[in-house]
Amino acid sequence: MRLLRYLFAALALACSLPAHTTDGIEFVVEAAGFVKPESVIHDTRNDVYLVSNINGLQPGTAGKGFISRIAPDGTVLALKWIDGGAPGTELDHPAGLAIAGDVLYVADSLFVRLFRLADGKPLGKAELPQGTSANSLAALPDGSVLATCSAWNRHKLGSAGDIAGRAVAGAFRQFDGDLWMPNGRDAVLRIAPDLTVSILASSPALKQPNGIRALPSGNVLTVSSNSGELYELTPAGERANVRILPHRGFFDGVGATPDGKVFVSFHHGLYRIHADGQAETVFDFNSHIADFGFDLKRGRILLPAIVAGKLIVARIP
């Protein structure tokens, strides 16, 4: 039955998109109860996929976020493996995920929360500086974790003209017509194993950093949400190897495979970025793909469709 469900899901995607955009899809996990699935990571120790579910940003939804646990064949092992609504568990709007040792780190707005990888037990939290909000996470070889903080101001708007005018000025429209305007207070923070927080970089030049991943060189790969800049940050927090992506809206996740393939997700799908900086669309779902991950054991890329509420599992292009 599960196999038939996956075949029907893949067929539905294939019927709604140009044929080349669905090449390589293995299966789709849908109708599983995901609510704004933002990030996915492969827990290689336990060989499961962990999916963060933001579950809304509107007032009244605090404490409702959750982490799902998915088997590599698509079976939902636990929809709310870590549940912000459960007694003794704090989790509001989980976004980026990272694993350092036997600990799962979760970006949760004003905090980075820690959970034991074996059973999801809460292990504490790192409180971020006032005015910052964690987005994507990247684990470093020394056991510390980096967090991107895209600084935006949220605006309630009253007219279509106001929305259009602010959008032209560079705002990003999101959540029931509200706009999120960049305010220049962007940062990349470092959370040490003892949960002390320091600043790796802080500058408007970061341009709303979103996805972040560590590279073998010691640099970290970062993509800006709104400007379409893909760059590296050195251990000193300096930008290097800046590349400009085709501007197709909002950019989200970033990742690199051990053999050097670089990918960036955006509001329609996934780019592969070649060595010369050229961007090739490898998946176009006409749906926002957020903070994706890899299952290198099986040669897969794990794509959370945040608006559609799906997890798309495909072969690495």
* Cα pseudo-dihedral 257, 260, 266, 270, rounded to 10: -80
Cα-based distances in Å from 224 to 206, 209, 217, 312: 7, 4, 20, 23
In whole angstroms, give the CA distance from residue 234 to residue 66. 33
Contacts of 278-285 with CB under 8 Å at 24 or more apart are 279/245, 279/246, 281/21, 282/317, 283/21, 283/22, 283/24, 283/312, 283/314, 283/317, 284/17, 284/18, 284/21, 285/13, 285/17, 285/21, 285/312
Residue 20 DSSP label: G
Higher-confidence position of 167 and 314: 314
Chain-wide mean pLDDT for the chain? 86
Q: How far is CA 241 from the centre of its chain?
A: 22
Residue 211 — φ and ψ, nearest 5°?
-65, 145
Q: Is 135 a residue whose pLDDT tops 70?
A: yes
Contacts of residue 164, defined as CB under 8 A and 6 or more positions apart, other chains included, come to none
Average pLDDT over residues 163-173: 47
Per-residue confidence band for 155, with pLDDT thresholds at 50, 70 and 90: low
pLDDT at 277: 85
Percent of the chain with pLDDT over 90: 71
Pull the structure tokens for residue 46. 């336990």
Q: Is 289 a residue whose pLDDT tops 60?
A: yes
Contacts of residue 87, defined as CB under 8 A and 6 or more positions apart, other chains included, come to none
pLDDT at 29: 98
Per-residue confidence band for 22, with pLDDT thresholds at 50, 70 and 90: low
Q: Is 283 a residue whose pLDDT tops 80?
A: yes
Per-residue confidence band for 275, with pLDDT thresholds at 50, 70 and 90: confident
Tens of pLDDT along 194-214? 999 999 999 989 988 999 999
Decide yes or no: CATH 2.120.10.30 for domain 2-151+186-315. Answer: yes
Q: Is 3 a residue whose pLDDT tops 50?
A: no
Per-residue confidence band for 14, with pLDDT thresholds at 50, 70 and 90: very low
Name the residue ranges covered by the structural domains of the chain. Answer: 2-151+186-315
pTM (two decimals): 0.86
